[in-house]
Every structure is written in structure tokens, then in C-alpha cells.
């Protein structure tokens, strides 16, 4: 098992002009690890990262979109896997950070945490590529190959909490955050 923040540190040098759609605890970690204006933080409702990411990928076909989703969040919108696979955006790489709990909501267990298989669900939905990472060394050696292949692609990331980063809900739900993202997107 790898710490989520260390996994995000592996991703950080590989993120420059990509749009990153992240949710909840992964978002708070990512904002501390790699603050940037092209981090889309306006998801607001659990489960919407994959759908927002799909919309951004379809609207920006020349730009890579990375979705940093949680297992609890993705469970709220499993139907998005089929929509993503059907649209088949080559610029869409989806990461689901699996820790078996709704972490920001008190670490309550997700249903069937010991049974749900996100890799199988993505394959069954029709994703082009699926990878699974449970150790940091495995992620470091496999992430470039994963990102080099066209999407839609899903990386299942087996994680445990790492460093505790501030949870700035006021910022992620603010008009200022959305305006900053829009300006950065228009300028690039």
C-alpha cells in the first residue's frame, strides 16, 4: 500500500499543462502538493469528478485531462464509466484513489469495500486501458507507460492516508476558484 501524498508526488513532475480534476481529500492533498490555476476544483458534489472531467476532455480534445477521483466518489456515479468509454476521449486519464472509506466525511466505510473491483468495472465499461498500482515503486516504474497510452484509461491506486493537509472548503466552492481556472484555461 502507498501513501496518497507520495503517489501524488510521483504524478507532480508529470503534470504541467494538463487539466486536473480532483475531489475531496485527494484534491486537498493535490492543492498543497501542486497548487496551480489549471486545477479544476469546482466539482461540489460527490461523484461528479468523472463527469466534469469527461466534459472538459470533450471540450478540449487537444489537452490531456487527469481525473483524481476517490473510490467513494466514483461509487456515487458508476454510470459515468460507461459514458466515458462510449465517448472514448483519448485525452482522458482517470485515477481512482482506493482507501475503502469516505475519508472527508468521517472515514466511514464505503459499501462492499472488500469486494468492489474498479479495474473490472472500467474494463467492463469499455475503457481502453486499465492499470493497477499498489506500491510506490510500481507506480514510479509504470506511470509513464500508463500516461503515454491513449485514454480513456483508469489507474486504480491502492492508497492509505498520508500527511494531513488543510481542507479549504471555502476556496474549492468559491467563485474565485472557478474564475481562476477559466482565466488559466483561456490563456493557455
Residues listed for the chain: 188
Range of the domain at 128: 2-187
* Segment 142-163, tens digit of pLDDT: 999 999 999 999 999 999 877 7
Query: What predicted TM-score, i.e. pTM, was given to this entire model?
Result: 0.92
* Segment 38-48, tens digit of pLDDT: 999 866 667 88
Q: What is the CATH number of the domain that holds 183?
A: 3.40.50.970
* Segment 58-95, tens digit of pLDDT: 999 999 999 999 998 899 899 999 999 999 999 999 99
Query: Count of domains in the chain?
Result: 1
Confidence grade of residue 164 (pLDDT, cut at 50, 70, 90): confident
Amino acid at each position: 500500500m502507498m501513501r496518497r501524498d507520495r503517489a501524488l508526488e510521483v504524478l507532480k513532475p508529470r503534470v504541467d499543462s494538463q487539466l486536473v480534476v480532483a475531489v475531496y481529500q485527494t484534491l486537498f492533498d493535490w492543492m498543497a502538493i501542486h497548487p496551480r490555476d489549471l486545477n479544476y476544483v469546482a466539482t461540489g458534489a460527490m461523484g461528479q469528478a468523472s463527469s466534469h472531467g469527461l466534459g472538459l476532455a470533450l471540450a478540449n480534445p487537444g489537452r490531456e485531462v487527469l481525473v483524481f477521483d476517490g473510490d467513494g466518489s466514483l461509487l456515487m456515479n458508476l454510470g459515468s464509466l460507461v459514458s466515458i468509454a462510449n465517448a472514448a476521449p483519448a485525452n482522458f486519464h482517470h485515477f481512482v484513489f482506493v482507501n475503502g472509506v469516505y475519508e472527508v466525511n468521517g472515514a466511514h466505510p464505503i459499501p462492499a469495500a472488500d469486494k468492489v473491483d474498479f479495474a473490472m468495472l472500467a474494463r467492463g465499461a469499455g475503457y481502453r486501458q486499465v492499470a493497477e498500482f499498489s506500491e510506490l515503486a510500481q507506480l514510479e516504474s509504470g506511470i509513464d507507460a500508463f500516461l503515454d497510452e491513449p485514454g480513456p484509461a483508469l489507474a486504480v491506486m491502492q492508497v492509505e492516508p498520508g500527511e494531513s493537509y488543510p481542507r479549504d472548503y471555502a476556496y474549492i466552492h468559491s467563485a474565485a476558484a472557478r474564475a481562476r481556472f477559466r482565466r488559466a484555461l483561456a490563456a493557455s
